[in-house]
Amino acid sequence: MRLKVVIHEADEGGFWAEVPAIAGCATEGDTLEELLADLYDAIEGCLSVDVAHVKTGARDRVMDIAI
């Protein structure tokens, strides 16, 4: 999976980034290297949020998939 991220220079120094395709997914870092490492963690965390109540019918299935 490929995602576009928007990297901003923070006014107080360092960087922060957001992932437009994933609402609310953002992180920050003092250096670009730290920011990139934190981005992987942030994206994984945002995508691993479990939906507690999924309505399913008798013929429906819920599956976890890796991408």
CATH architecture observed for domain 1-67 = 2-Layer Sandwich (3.30)
pTM: 0.70
Per-residue confidence (pLDDT) for residue 47, from 0 to 100: 87
Q: How far is CA 31 from the centre of its chain?
A: 19
Q: Residues 6 or more apart from 53 whose CB is under 8 A from it?
A: none
27 burial level (CB within 10 Å; 0-12, 13-18, 19+):
buried
pLDDT tens per residue, range 9-52: 999 999 999 999 999 999 999 999 999 999 999 999 998 876 66
Q: Give me the half-sphere count of Cα atoms (radius 13 Å) on the Cβ side of residue 26.
A: 12
